Structure 1
């Protein structure tokens, strides 16, 4: 697909877009991280595997609900549903990653020429969904403010294995003013279906992260003075399991380039 669509220049314009409008831009070839897009609508991670691996993924998600909260599952070969009415999971994400035999085999802007009728799509909750709530509370979101992708890190914390799948927990990081960490925990804990409260605050070395300036996925963000690194479970975790487990063939969103769904974020809030 030719990358030709123009990104809305104004951050407020991106935030105000309806999901179908954003997906149309991505379908036309716009490649961009989706943090800050379509306020009020849930975003989702994708992991797509052949039918004979689908139970392993479902069991992995059930045993590791913090990084893998399931929002929906499509039938084998199905490419649309209530997550994206009238859309297509093969074309409506800004960028995808292809995995072959436990190795990343490149990125692409659509999946049309690699799609198979035995593929099962899992949509998992994404922490981008609660970022608007953080901003509304006056808590800055560094990667949005700095115009970059969120930094993500593979940790040394193992997930609980399931069937043939095993691998490390992946986390996203947002620096939060030290005085607002408790507020960030409280706000995000209301969204358990999109990772919920942080899994760790400060001390990245306790997660096996040696250098915050060298994320495994996404971009580096500047950490202002007085801010503390706060880590949330990340939906890239099953893709790390695909790599660690040598899955013969799988597809996923490119980290930070999410499926913007038609599901309102209030649906995933708890009191």
Structure 2
């Protein structure tokens, strides 16, 4: 059942989330209001400069290509400007939100090729880690990959298929697919394994660990295994799935009988990522 904006605002306030949910529209979007301070612009440049030194070496070429096409570095992005470029590439656009939004609303946006991006930025003391997803995570992490047509199609299909999977009792299982691909996915296409997931792209420490550490547990991608494998919220992942290509990811989601996978495994213990 969908939650009202007012009820969700009360829940977020009770949890201490910092976004202003009182000004949300019914679809949980807000205005970006491009009135960022000089200090916020400096935080953005610091984050981008530092992380770009790593992504130049550790990110998959598709992510770097998206950065070049969309231009995300010099200043806090204007969502309307970037949306205009993104529409020409993959017919996606960005919608500002105050932070995390309910799953139902998130899926509707994805299904209509709209990607929610938080409209506020972390503080200078939070450069290394932040609990909530902020603009740097959403934008620097997620948006470049949306310039790739096959990944853009995957994200739309994810939004379209989510309601039926949730109705079948597979909410947790389906969230693992998003987590291990859009957030923490690695890519093996065209050479050595590189990263593309937003959780890695926006993390100074885990990006290096996932790609370069001999202790990182890299596993070949299989959609059923992914949906059965639990993940970590507040520490490094104990497994990283390596995709052969965005095309195969798109086809895997488009062709999989997700409801049957859910029926087969939802009442059985999930897999331990350390031993898959």
TM-score bucket of the superposed structures, by smaller chain: 0.3 to 0.5
More strand as a share of residues = 1
More helix as a share of residues = 2
TM-score if structure 1 supplies the norm length?
Answer: 0.33
More RCO (CA 8 Å, sep 6+)? 1
